Amino acid sequence: MSDYYSINGQLVKAEEAKLHVTDLTLRRGYGAFDYLRIYRGQPLFIDDHLERFQHSADILGLELPMTKLQLKHHVAELIAKNATTEAGLQFFLTGGYSADGFTPTTANLLILQVPLPARSAELFERGCKLISYPYQRDLPEVKSTNYLMAIYLRKAMREAAASDVLYHSGGYALETTRSNLFIVTHEGQLITPASGILKGITRNHLLRLASASIPIEERPIKLAEVYAAREVFISSTIRGTLPVRQLDEQLIADGKPGPVTEQLMAQFREHVEAYLAITEQTMLIHS
Amino acid sequence: MSDYYSINGQLVKAEEAKLHVTDLTLRRGYGAFDYLRIYRGQPLFIDDHLERFQHSADILGLELPMTKLQLKHHVAELIAKNATTEAGLQFFLTGGYSADGFTPTTANLLILQVPLPARSAELFERGCKLISYPYQRDLPEVKSTNYLMAIYLRKAMREAAASDVLYHSGGYALETTRSNLFIVTHEGQLITPASGILKGITRNHLLRLASASIPIEERPIKLAEVYAAREVFISSTIRGTLPVRQLDEQLIADGKPGPVTEQLMAQFREHVEAYLAITEQTMLIHS
């Protein structure tokens, strides 16, 4: 637990951070969400995350009480107050306190600092197992607070000893509960779905990094193509790039992380380092 | 606003009723929900509602902190404290305060008394307009806090001057955002979907009432059958039975409430009166 959370631009002691029970996100699951990672005290790719948070809010018709620039400064203030080096930040824009329990009102903006999950080095070396499940997220292009299916599926995941669940719809693979999907075909093409999904920030950076050296296609992926792929990996803010060695009972190729996956994992790590070096330098100049 | 809400079995002044921001229902939309109506100080069909609330909680793996009997007594206490005659009661069983923001913990139980929406007599006489939208609720047999699509669709509803949105999937009509669907065929059969929906308490009572005089089938209904039906109506705790005169741009039959709908509306009103008379009598005996 961190020391301070932010509620509507005010830093509040974590244990005192409360919302009134009439808030529409509590009662109706109607709210915008985002999540970024703090590395060495820097909010990684914060501009991308705030842009997406704004986009989610716009689609849901919820108004941010600050500009993106004000929000960025406020995040810096929160990180400084908590003296954070490594953590996650969850952003929520809620439906607000609603008298009729259905109509959004003035949104509440929450920012919660959360501990990072333990990282298993072995999982990243061996690759993870996914199970498939027929589902498409509601308003897939919006990062919302609706994780009903994701949390409901925890039991099935645990029983299958899987790391995540791959959603599919109409025969097409989409995304996992909290990550984007990539496959590498036997022809060496990198493919990721273009629609019906949340466009992850890590996904977008990976596509830009990969485009210099690998042929890329953003298009629908048949579930059968995933089982038959040469390589499969997933990407997210928490995981970066995580190889997939198994989908349901089927091993992907020989069940070992492939060279394209490993190349992109390394490139992404370097890319993060370069980003941090630039922001640290900018901070030195401004201090 | 009522004077008191209930949080975990404690009556709390409404304005002081708050939850900590780490609750999983706020952050992830993971919670069980129910709604009942208080008529003349009596919680209508409370046993049915508590049974369903328990069922939703079971599927979500959330534990009620009271037995159904304790909860029933507690509701009576809340109604007495607020001296309520006519209102709605919203029940929430949340995912609890979660350190990792993903794993449900000890559930919080909230009960909020809410004002009833204004009832338009004209709407019930003329019938309402629905618009159709391709969607199936997540975990449809669970009454959860996930109303993301329902609230998102408010704009489309308003623009079409519609009262509700009829969800359909794979060519089959399911339910509206907050009501069950019934059609009467030209052969005089009463039909309502059997699966892929929330089984409403009003729906279940209507089926029992109708079974004495009308042939009933619970089966999938093609969307085309709704457009072509002789009568269409929807049912819910708030609305009771509401005739549908129009779906999208298509009038249902001659656009007037039909005789089966009107018969069931009358029968349901009598049924509610009979229920209230029995519970009032039971109260007199016990007082």
DSSP string, A85-149: SSEEEEEEEE--B-SSSSS--SPPEEEEEEPPPP--HHHHHH-EEEEEEE---SSTTS-BS--HH
> Are the CB atoms for A40 and A86 separated by under 8 Å?
yes
Cα–Cα distance, B282 to B213 (Å, whole number): 30
Cα–Cα distance, B40 to A169 (Å, whole number): 47
Residues of B within 8 A of A147 (CB-CB) are: 28-30, 102
| Chain B: closest CA distance from residue A152 (Å) | 6
Cα–Cα distance, A32 to A131 (Å, whole number): 27
Cα–Cα distance, A240 to A216 (Å, whole number): 19
CA B267 remoteness from chain centre: 19
Cβ neighbours for A167, distance < 8 A, ≥ 6 positions apart:
A132, A133, A134, A135, A136, A137, A149, A173, A174, A175, A176, A177
- Does the distance separating the beta carbons of A22 and B151 come in below 8 Å? no
Band the pLDDT of B1: cuts 50, 70, 90.
very low
Q: What is the pLDDT of residues B83-117, one digit of tens each?
A: 999 999 999 999 999 988 899 999 999 999 999 99
Task: Give yes or no for B8 touching A (CB within 8 A).
Answer: no
Residue from the list B7, B92, B148 with its beta carbon closest to the beta carbon of A139:
B148
How far apart, in Å, do the first and last CA atoms of chain B sit?
Answer: 29
Region A210-222 average pLDDT = 97
Cα–Cα distance, B258 to B264 (Å, whole number): 10
pLDDT higher than 80, residue A1: no
Cα–Cα distance, B163 to A132 (Å, whole number): 37
3-state secondary structure (DSSP) of residue B42: strand
Residues of B within 8 A of A56 (CB-CB) are: none
* Paired residues of B240 in beta bridges: B236
> Are the CB atoms for A141 and A259 separated by under 8 Å?
no
Q: What is the pLDDT of residue B286?
A: 63
CA A160 remoteness from chain centre: 23
- Does the distance separating the beta carbons of B19 and A61 come in below 8 Å? no
Query: Dihedrals φ, ψ of A149, to 5°?
Result: -65, -40
Q: What is the pLDDT of residue A281?
A: 80
Q: What is the pLDDT of residue B100?
A: 87
| Chain A: closest CA distance from residue B108 (Å) | 11
> Are the CB atoms for A46 and A278 separated by under 8 Å?
no
Best of A26, A98, A179 to mutate (most B CBs within 10 Å, chain B): A26
> Are the CB atoms for A237 and A200 separated by under 8 Å?
yes
Sign of the Cα pseudo-torsion (B14, B55, B36, B162, in order): positive
Task: Give yes or no for B284 touching A (CB within 8 A).
Answer: no
pLDDT higher than 90, residue B279: no
Which residues, numbered 79 to 138 in chain A, qualify as contacts with chain B under a Cβ-Cβ cut-off of 8 Å?
90, 92, 94-95, 99-104, 110, 112, 114-115, 117, 135, 138
pLDDT higher than 90, residue B228: yes
Task: Put residue A120 in one of left, alpha, beta given phi > 0 → left and psi -120 to 50 → alpha.
Answer: beta
Cα–Cα distance, B44 to B147 (Å, whole number): 23
Cβ neighbours for A249, distance < 8 A, ≥ 6 positions apart:
none
Band the pLDDT of B224: cuts 50, 70, 90.
very high
Tokens describing residue A248: 């349901």
Region A96-110 average pLDDT = 94
Best of B5, B13, B27 to mutate (most A CBs within 10 Å, chain A): B27
Element (H, E) at B68: helix B68-82
> Are the CB atoms for B143 and B55 separated by under 8 Å?
no
Q: What is the pLDDT of residues B128-143, one digit of tens each?
A: 999 999 999 999 999 9
Band the pLDDT of A98: cuts 50, 70, 90.
very high
CB count in 10 Å sphere of residue B71 = 22
Region A64-84 average pLDDT = 97
Q: What is the pLDDT of residue A284?
A: 67
Q: What is the pLDDT of residues A3-41, one digit of tens each?
A: 899 999 999 999 999 999 999 999 999 999 999 999 999
Give the residue carrying structure tokens 């208080």.
B38
Query: In terms of C-beta density within 10 A (0-12 exposed, 13-18 middle, 19 or more buried), how is residue B276 classed?
Result: middle
Task: Give yes or no for B253 touching A (CB within 8 A).
Answer: no
* Percent with pLDDT over 90 in chain B: 94
For residue B43, what are the CA distances in angstroms to B39, B85, B195, B207? 6, 10, 27, 21
> Are the CB atoms for B251 and B245 separated by under 8 Å?
yes
pLDDT higher than 60, residue B250: yes
CB count in 10 Å sphere of residue A94 = 26
